[in-house]
Amino acid sequence: MSQVIGIDLGTTYSCVAYLQGEEALIIPNLEGNNTTPSVVSFTSSGEQLIGTPALRQAPTNPDKTVYAVKRLMGKKFNSAEIQELQNKLSYKLDKAPNGDVIIDLGGSYITPQEISSLILRYLRKCAEDYLGEKVKDVVITVPAHFNDHQRQATKDAAKIAGLNTLRVINEPTAASLAYGLGSKRNGKVVVYDMGGGTFDVTILEISDGIFHVLATIGDTFLGGEDFDNRLISWILDEFKKKEGIDLSEDKFALQRIKEAAEKAKRELSYTLETQINLPFIVSKDSESKHLQVSLTRSLLENLTKDLVDKTIPYMTQALDESKLGLEEIEEVILVGGQTKMPLIKETVTKFFGHEPSRSINPDEAVAMGAAIQSGVLSGEIHDIVLLLDVTPISLGIEAENDQFVKIIEKNTTIPTKKTMSFTTVEDNQRRVKIHVMQGENPRASENVSLARFDLVGIEQAPAGVPQIDVTFEIDADGLVRVSAKDVATNREQSIEIRPSAGLSTFELNKIMKRTEDQAEVEKDEETGLL
């Protein structure tokens, strides 16, 4: 089997790892860094920049520099999150014909899956250059809270990048694998994961090499960027007070402030005070203005304490859901760059009553875990025998009067399969509409729609007589398949679910053809054929 890589496709940064023997090692990017900004930029000369070069030139090209695309994966344009996010991004969003969100690059459009695929393709190239061999297979990670659309969109992105996804695993599960490798210890572990855009807390039970997720809960809209935004607002206010100039509408200045704020935030994890100096930020009456501010760790903590406090109820809820007491938690693992913030470490320590483990870099643990999972799949690693995961969100169908009937409850161990029987509501009804949904609300309209299909050809009978068995199946990647059977005729109708979001096979093939053609052109250019 050729080398498999593990990829943590992050909101702000991505990371790739491989397995050497039984050890997971990080693959540096082309600039020699262990993590790569998840940023893609399209220049006026038609060039595509990925990672650090894209981030570096973002100030001069804010509306064609795409960042935080993970937030858009598998999302509808009209959803509340996208509507809110729209005002915060420096690039434009629009509605695709199928209702999904799409990126508007000033007249040309690109899907979130294609942007993610460019990042994945870049990471694949880094791996191939580093390892000196072709890479095809990947284990890829997603936040535990990703629903089916989001997982599918991630797999589509990998496919466009020419990668074969062996397994999609939850990020906290991957992190626990990174910590669990070689460990013969049994016990309950908490993974507190705050990256650039999302927050999750997961409780796992590890016993004899088996990882079992007991509970996973979080907020898909809470992460390092929120901390950056608090600092940015404070800097804008300070500048306005001092110079009387509002920079909030100046995209160019804003991008520079954004970068400086993130850098200052990182520094404040290690020092108590830092400065931001941005010369020539704006000019007024032909006079250049410079932005100069001093920041302290305590100021940052005051500005963001409520964001850290917001994670406390999630920790309580995860404990409740896993039916564990605080004293039963043996180990707490911090994952995601934002957890390097001392206030987060202190808050987590205070809550659980002991110091979190930090022997592995929080930025790298997830990719390392993905690489370890690849070793488990290929048989290279023997001491971890099984990886059990749970579905983080309940699945079911819509019934009469906007009711949501759960078929697979949240926190059910996957892979799983469950069948429930339904019937008709009208006499001689020949067709039933099945609406597959994901969510926790008893009202169907409050949950996420996954797919709709009609079951036709039901035998004529009075209302309530026909028995229709609906079967839900979740595979090891957390992807969902639904089928239905009319028991009277014993005819199993195979039903293809058409997702109400995502790329169709036709669109996916079209994109893949386009990117393959482009890759061919690039190869020819490299070899001087054109």
Residue numbers of the site for ligand AMP (CB under 6 A)?
A: 10-13, 35, 195-196, 224-225, 262, 265-266, 269, 336-338, 340-341, 363
Bridge partners of 482, per DSSP, are: 472
224 vs 375, beta carbon nearer ligand AMP: 224
CA 176 to mean position of chain CA atoms: 17
- Does residue 19 contact residue 137 with C-beta atoms inside 8 Å? no
Active-site residue identified among 100, 171, 200, 228: 171
77 vs 314, beta carbon nearer ligand AMP: 314
How many other C-beta atoms lie within 10 A of the C-beta of residue 323? Answer: 10
Query: What order of strands is seen across the sheet that includes strand 413-414?
Result: 329-335, 187-194, 199-207, 210-219, 386-390, 413-414
How far CA 171 is from CA of 112, 175, 179, 362, 366, in Å, comes to: 20, 6, 13, 12, 6
CB 479, min distance to ligand AMP, A: 24
Which is it for strands 498-499 and 403-408: parallel, antiparallel or unpaired?
Answer: unpaired
Residue 242 annotated among the catalytic residues of the structure: no
CB 42, min distance to ligand AMP, A: 23
Q: Around 473, how many Cα atoms within 13 Å sit in the side-chain half-sphere?
A: 9
CB 270, min distance to ligand AMP, A: 7
238 vs 301, beta carbon nearer ligand AMP: 301
- Does residue 378 contact residue 358 with C-beta atoms inside 8 Å? no
Active-site residue identified among 100, 137, 193, 200: 193
Residue 193 annotated among the catalytic residues of the structure: yes
With vertex at residue 317, the alpha carbon angle to CA 185 and CA 213, rounded to the nearest 5 degrees, is 35
CB 320, min distance to ligand AMP, A: 26
Rg (the chain; Cα; Å): 24
278 vs 501, beta carbon nearer ligand AMP: 278
What is d(CA 13, CA 6) in angstroms, rounded to the nearest whole number?
Answer: 14
3-state secondary structure of 441: coil
233 vs 269, beta carbon nearer ligand AMP: 269
CB 192, min distance to ligand AMP, A: 12
Q: Which of 415, 410, 427, 429 is nearest to 481 (CA)?
A: 415
| DSSP state string for 46-69 | S-EEESHHHHHTGGG-GGGEE--G
Residue that the structure tokens 């108590």 belong to? 272
CB 178, min distance to ligand AMP, A: 13
138 vs 501, beta carbon nearer ligand AMP: 138
CA 100 to mean position of chain CA atoms: 17
What the block records as the tokens of 450 is: 């996954």
Residues 6+ apart with CB under 8 A from 190: 201, 202, 203, 204, 315, 318, 329, 331, 332, 333, 352
Q: Which amino acid is at 403?
A: Q
| DSSP state string for 246-301 | --TT-HHHHHHHHHHHHHHHHHTTT-SEEEEEEEEEEEETTEEEEEEEEEEHHHHH
262 vs 486, beta carbon nearer ligand AMP: 262
Q: Nearest residue to ligand AMP, using CB?
A: 224
Question: Is the Cα torsion angle 177, 439, 152, 107 positive or negative in sign?
Answer: negative
33 vs 471, beta carbon nearer ligand AMP: 33
What is d(CA 2, CA 90) in angstroms, rounded to the nearest whole number?
Answer: 40
CB 410, min distance to ligand AMP, A: 25
CB 144, min distance to ligand AMP, A: 14
Active-site residue identified among 64, 70, 289, 340: 70
Residue 524 annotated among the catalytic residues of the structure: no
Residue 171 annotated among the catalytic residues of the structure: yes
CB 363, min distance to ligand AMP, A: 4
10 vs 172, beta carbon nearer ligand AMP: 10
260 vs 282, beta carbon nearer ligand AMP: 260
Q: How many residues does the chain have?
A: 530
What is d(CA 474, CA 469) in angstroms, rounded to the nearest whole number?
Answer: 16
How many other C-beta atoms lie within 10 A of the C-beta of residue 439? Answer: 21
CB 461, min distance to ligand AMP, A: 55
- Active-site residue set: 8, 70, 171, 193
